[in-house]
């Protein structure tokens, strides 16, 4: 197989926190605690898990919007975590990000055209106004916006339209890979489908590589080639879309999938929902051994003593469950 376009190896993001007490003891919040994966050109990797599992922190660490505590991120064969400011700035032309809240990610004092053009002014200041305007109009048309609305402000657009502006801004530099940090979670269901279909079309037409982060497995299913399930800062299962949805191996993955609604009323009525017991443990003090054991229906004494690592199963997927074969 060709060299991965992006390779993440043992990435960790830890935050020191001062705990109140007589000596103000410092503790560490392990938001991301050892994540590794590869993604190849034209592929979409879905990253799923409940709130607090470290998905967005992982995305920001890859983009170097947050400092990584440990690990490596290799983009197009170049390790980017150690690059200086100027070299990292140049590398950002190849990797861009779409944010979760479409309106909050746009400057309210800038027009749609100015927002989309901002990366061009940073990286290609020599372009003429006519060239910039032509690129903006072409891109607005590509993402489903009316080019005549180039001078409107973000508050004059709907949520879905604002997200299209964010997508256009991410595409203006012709990046190789786009990190989508829950890009549809703030939108209505019907608009979610439009944005997902738009991303799939853009990926097909432009040869994009996507990291698509979400907590809704039904959304991830329609866009992802492979899926990584995260729990409390660690991946617990990685596999193809069919492997994850048709034959999940980790109890956490099974519980997430059981909560996905089935459009068939009869099947929905008769399905068995695996309800997760208890709350998500604190990443400051995670359980010993398997982090999921406090909520796992099949955990035993061994799960408390051994910290599981990802292992490759017979079907080619990877899981950290000690009981999976």
Confidence of residue 226 (pLDDT cuts 50, 70, 90): very high
Secondary structure of residue 319 in the 3-state scheme: strand
User: What residues does 231 pair with on adjacent strands?
Assistant: 234
Confidence of residue 69 (pLDDT cuts 50, 70, 90): very high
- Domains in the chain: ranges and CATH: 6-94+175-319 (3.40.50.300)
Q: What average pLDDT does range 35-64 have in this prediction?
A: 94
Task: Give the pLDDT of residue 6.
Answer: 96
Instruction: List the one residue out of 201, 105, 87, 191 whose CA is nearest residue 154.
Output: 105
Chain centroid to CA 185: how far? 12
Task: Give the pLDDT of residue 197.
Answer: 94
**Separation between Cα atoms, residue 177 and residue 43, nearest integer Å:** 9
The rounded percent of the chain whose pLDDT value lies above 90 is: 71
Per-residue pLDDT reduced to its tens digit, 266-277? 766 667 777 777
Residue 325 has pLDDT above 90, yes or no: no
The CA distances from residue 207 to 44, 55, 181, in Å, are 11, 24, 19
Instruction: List the one residue out of 148, 216, 143 whose CA is nearest residue 178.
Output: 143
Asked if residues 42 and 53 have their Cβ atoms less than 8 Å apart, the reply is no
Per-residue pLDDT reduced to its tens digit, 136-176? 999 999 999 999 999 999 999 999 999 999 999 999 999 99
Angle, in degrees to the nearest 10, between helices 112-123 and 129-142? 120
Question: Which residue in the block uniquely carries the two structure tokens 């604190």?
Answer: 282
DSSP calls for 189-242 = HHHHHHHHHHHHHHHHHHT-EEEEEES-HHHHHHH-SEEEEEETTEEEEEEEHH
> Looking at per-residue confidence, does 22 or 269 come out higher?
269
Instruction: List the one residue out of 9, 14, 51, 10 whose CA is nearest residue 30.
Output: 14
Q: What average pLDDT does range 58-70 have in this prediction?
A: 95
Query: Which tokens hold the place of 122?
Result: 């940073």
Per-residue pLDDT reduced to its tens digit, 106-125? 999 999 999 999 999 989 99
Confidence of residue 185 (pLDDT cuts 50, 70, 90): confident
The rounded percent of the chain whose pLDDT value lies above 70 is: 94
Asked if residues 127 and 120 have their Cβ atoms less than 8 Å apart, the reply is yes
Residue 128 has pLDDT above 70, yes or no: yes
Confidence of residue 27 (pLDDT cuts 50, 70, 90): confident
Confidence of residue 22 (pLDDT cuts 50, 70, 90): low
Task: Give the pLDDT of residue 267.
Answer: 65
Q: What average pLDDT does range 218-235 have in this prediction?
A: 92
Per-residue pLDDT reduced to its tens digit, 301-311? 999 999 999 99
């Amino acid at each position: 197989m060709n060299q991965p376009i992006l390779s993440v190896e043992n990435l960790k993001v830890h935050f020191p926190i001062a705990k109140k007490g007589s000596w103000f003891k410092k503790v560490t919040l392990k938001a991301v605690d050892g994540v590794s994966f590869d993604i190849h050109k034209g592929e979409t990797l879905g990253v799923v898990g409940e709130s607090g599992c470290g998905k967005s922190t992982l995305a920001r660490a890859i983009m170097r919007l947050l400092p990584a505590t440990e690990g490596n991120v290799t983009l197009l064969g170049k390790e980017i975590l150690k690059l200086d400011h100027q070299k990292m700035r140049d590398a950002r032309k190849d990797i861009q990000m779409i944010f979760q809240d479409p309106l909050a990610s746009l400057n309210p004092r800038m027009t749609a055209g100015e927002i989309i053009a901002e990366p061009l002014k940073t990286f290609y200041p020599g372009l003429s106004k006519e060239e910039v305007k032509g690129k903006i109009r072409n891109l607005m048309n590509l993402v489903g916006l009316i080019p005549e609305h180039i001078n409107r402000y973000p508050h004059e657009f709907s949520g879905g339209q604002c997200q299209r502006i964010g997508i256009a801004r991410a595409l203006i530099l012709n990046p190789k890979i786009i990190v989508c940090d829950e890009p549809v979670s703030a939108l209505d269901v019907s608009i979610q489908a439009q944005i997902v279909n738009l991303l799939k079309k853009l990926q097909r037409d432009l040869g994009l590589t996507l990291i698509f982060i979400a907590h809704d497995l039904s959304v991830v299913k329609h866009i992802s080639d492979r899926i990584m399930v995260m729990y409390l800062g660690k991946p617990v299962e990685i596999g193809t879309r069919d492997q994850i949805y048709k034959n999940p191996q980790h109890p956490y993955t099974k519980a997430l999938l059981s909560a996905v609604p089935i459009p068939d009323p009869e099947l929905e009525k008769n399905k068995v929902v695996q309800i997760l017991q208890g709350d998500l443990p604190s990443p400051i003090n995670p359980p010993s051994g398997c982090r999921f054991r406090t909520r796992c229906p099949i955990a035993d004494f061994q799960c408390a003593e051994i910290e599981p690592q990802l292992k490759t199963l017979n079907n080619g997927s990877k899981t950290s469950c000690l009981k999976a074969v």
